Structure 1
Amino acid sequence: MAENKTQPTDASVEEFLGAVEHPTRRADGFELLNMMRELTGQEAVMWGPTIVGFGKYHYKYASGREGDSAAVGFSPRKTNLALYGLTMGPEADRLLPELGKHKTGASCLYVNKLDDVDRDVLAELIRTGYRHTMTEIHRP
């Protein structure tokens, strides 16, 4: 079976975020770095060239495909901030309507800028998403 393309690297998170062109996304990236570091108690790791991740879990699908992924994370893209692992927790359905302006994808949450969302609700989504991933999905 093919190995996942997105793997943890030794690249500098701060250098990656410092090189983000869009000034708002760069500032939001550093804010998310501090917020996720504090809420998860984990240090940030670059996953591939563009994802900042916190924590690590192992998954295995019914198809047999398995691998490792960051428990929560984000990527400051040109058009938005992609946030990973925040929609998986049992509290997400209750919290998302309170978040503010956002979109969701298969397992991602997209926001244009942090000023569009309630930071307290975002913090709770990070906390509950991380806890769910590390205790329910990843059973050490």
Structure 2
Amino acid sequence: MSKPEFFATPGYGEAMRAARRYSQAVRVGERVEISGQGGWDDDLNFPEALEDEIVQAFENVERTLNTAGATWRDVIAVNSYHIPESAEEVGEATTRIMVEQFRKRMGDRAPIWTELGVAALGAPKMRVEIQVTAMVGGATE
């Protein structure tokens, strides 16, 4: 069995490891798991527009995957957590943006995906969090 390797995303991930004692990613062999990534910048500021926050969360997932030696093309599972302003927001606007980002970053690949509306996330201004699992080298089509 491979030994786990833990990773901190440069910038915000290093700050979170120091302040909160958790890593952004773990790799065991070819499997990479990342903690939920929000749409923050390196100073943990969030964009005002929901679409910008979702796109930034996807960017942060990519940065974190890269830190552990993976890419969006290796992703096999996605869990996304959303704080909706209304029931329709998760069902329509958020889903549309998420799907656009999936297509942009993974092409025709379609990992499993669970999308959940939740009451709260880890930061007061946070409206989206994305957690993924990747298998390096074997998941690409």
TM-score normalised by the chain length of structure 1:
0.27
Q: Which has the higher contact order (CA 8 A, sep 6+)?
A: 2
